[in-house]
Structure 1
């Protein structure tokens, strides 16, 4: 991941290893902390098998083709972002010290060849079932840029979906992507604890929400801002993968079946750096760290890394 001034480019954001559809389902209303021993055993078996399958895929011809295309795709994206930043005359020439989830590369600059940045093998496997949270809204717009008028650190992210049964990318899966804004407010929701609960107009707002289908490489790309925080939760992004739905004339997506419900997180030092800037620094809600987040503590397990 490369940070360019007030921009974050997330490379190899996540690989969602899809099991058979029978073994992957959406959140059914059961609290995350109340999983039965049987459910926990299913989770353990899925993670073990998924990790083995993903490792097998890494040496396949399909994986090599995907990796070559990923380098080219991300290089083009990096060039596009650099050009945009130069045009806006805000390009930062400082290098960024890598952290464990950003990169283990050193000596990077804004002009580093993209193949050096994006040539790593995929390493992340996501758990098949995580709570979607109370602020999910269906029927959102199909789009990749969800920023609208929201201020914050620009975030460019991509999620790649691989079927570990075939080692092939999953094309045409609609990935729903949503999170709160820099001050901890979700659009489309009027509720206590979500900003000004007396502001009824928020129910009609759509910022920082959207769906986009995966392409032939199984990739869904997004342009957003780095999420803020709200009381009791660490900084995170929600994802839902849906198939067999209908794209409506008003450019929204309806129906279908959820094959993955997940959440993505960020390194704490990166969160701290972003939170020190405006408008994040104006957020008066209590900041919950990754170490104190109940959902993250359940998700984190051996060979399971939900961090961008």
Structure 2
């Protein structure tokens, strides 16, 4: 069935509880051999994406080198905004786990359920399909609520105030909701959204964030609350595509220094265990400016994850979390940068403890 945009049928107006089932809990599984290998219901064939599968302990540098030299532009022709997800993903199911990757300091809780999160932000239109697969069965996961967010064409996130995120003196950005949205997966496990192509900011290559959540509550104001986080990830893009997009009018005004895919520590983390976090794509016309369709599949690890929001969208606007990694007062970006569990310090991102791995979180 062809995709229809926007998908207003997923914009509920009454409160209730998500009907998605709680996935079975698995602690760890090796990506090779596939857990689907002995499945009688879903055949295990090959990963239908241009990536060589490495053993678990493959050096991340080798993985990254392979990914950044791989062309993820699809050979499919005639792709439009209405192309069916079955055409994009085909019949093959690839049960290769995507490692959980930091959700960064800009996660906002309680975003709107919608199919289009552009809000008139200028940039290259981008249609996205993300297919979620259950690791225990290699079957599609329906009714998982997927939270997307990313920076705009000048490298700024809505909903947060922080040094390095646009004008940190502009308190109105706390109430902004552009380029953030939640949408449920359909019966084929596919979440669909309309974005603009993201742009980069300091020390990060161009990327977008993803959180998969189940058993939460759909509120009467069209937002999603509660539930259990099953997966936290990031998706990235071909360097050549990034370069082409950045030549467009809106993107050239981004003054942040470029970080290439080869230098992005979180691409290396996302590529662990043989997963390819770079999205496959097709142009929707002859030029990048005509828009893009991007897609990717991932395996739901089903283990509950802990996340801490920087802010929460409420009926009265955005509210900074008491436990946020975004500190108060003027501080240099990157100074005393901490992770999610850090206590608030004197400068933005001043948490002192760092995350579980002691790494800065973006």
The offset of 1:181, in angstroms, is 0.3
Q: CA deviation at 1:300?
A: 1.6
Change (3 A) 1:262 1:204: same
User: What does 1:245-284 align with in structure 2 at a 5 Å threshold?
Assistant: 245-284=216-255
Q: Structure 1 pair 213/201, CA: closer, same or farther in 2 (3 Å)?
A: same
Q: 1:199, 1:266 → 2: CA distance?
A: 30
1:48 aligns with 2:19: no
Are the aligned partners of 1:246 and 1:255 in contact in 2 as well (CA < 8 Å)? yes
Deviations 1:162-186 (A, max 9, x none): 1132232111110000000000000
> In 2 relative to 1, CA 137–267 (structure 1 residues): closer, same or farther, beyond 3 Å?
same
Matched with 1:225 is 196
Structure 2 length-normalised TM:
0.58
- Deviation (angstroms), 1:194: 0.2
- In the TM superposition, what is the alpha-carbon distance from 1:149 to its structure 2 partner? 1.3
Preserved CA contact (<8 Å) 2:126 2:196: yes
The reply on whether 1:295 has 2:266 as its aligned counterpart is: yes
1:118 aligns with 2:122: no
2:211 is equivalent to residue 236 of structure 1: no
C-alpha RMSD over aligned residues = 2.9
Residue 233 of structure 1: how far off its partner (Å): 0.4
Are 2:147 and 2:210, in contact at CA under 8 Å, matched by a contact in 1?
yes
* Unaligned stretches of 5+ residues in structure 2: 1-21, 49-69, 280-362
Q: Match of 1:169, SS?
A: coil
Aligned pairs for 1:86-165 (under 5 A) are: 100-103=71-74, 105=75, 108=77, 118=88, 120=90, 121-123=92-94, 125-165=96-136
Q: Give the whole-Å Cα distance in 1 for the aligned partners of 2:196 and 2:36.
A: 30
* Equivalent residues of 1:158, 1:221 under 8 A apart: yes
Cα distance in 2 for residues equivalent to 1:287 and 1:231? 7
Query: How far apart in 2 are the matches of 1:114 and 1:172?
Result: 21
Deviation at 1:144, TM superposition (A): 1.5
Specify the alignment match of 2:149 in structure 1.
178
Conserved? CA contact 1:21–1:259, under 8 Å: no
Q: CA deviation at 1:138?
A: 0.4
Cα displacement (A) at 1:278? 1.4
Residues 283, 55 of structure 1: alpha-carbon distance in 2 compared, 3 angstrom cutoff = farther
CA offsets 1:187-244 (integer angstroms, 9 cap, x no match): 0011100001111100000000010111111111010110011010010010000011
Q: Distance in 1 between matches of 2:131 and 2:79?
A: 24
With over 3 angstroms needed to count, the CA separation of the structure-2 counterparts of 1:234 and 1:53, relative to structure 1, is same
Match of 2:314 in 1: none
| Alpha-carbon shift at residue 100 of structure 1 (Å) | 2.1
Cα pair distance change 1:60/1:252, threshold 3 Å: same
Q: Structure 1's 118 and 101: CA in aligned 2 closer, same or farther, altered over 3 A? A: same
1:55 to 1:114, Cα distance in 2 relative to 1, 3 A: farther
Match of 1:95 in 2: none
CA distance change for structure 1 residues 211 and 307 in 2, over 3 Å: closer, same or farther?
same
Tell me how far 1:301 sits from its aligned partner.
Answer: 3.1
Residue 147 of structure 1: CA displacement? 0.4
Say if 1:124 and 1:305, in contact at 8 Å, map to a contact too: no
What secondary structure sits across from 2:272 in the alignment? coil
Provide the residue aligned with 1:198 in structure 2. 169
Cα separation, 1, equivalents of 2:206 and 2:181: 18
Greater helix proportion: 1
Q: Which of 144, 166, 169 does residue 140 from structure 2 map onto?
A: 169
Query: Which consecutive unaligned segments of at least 5 residues does structure 1 have?
Result: 1-17, 24-41, 68-98
TM-score where L is the length of structure 1:
0.68
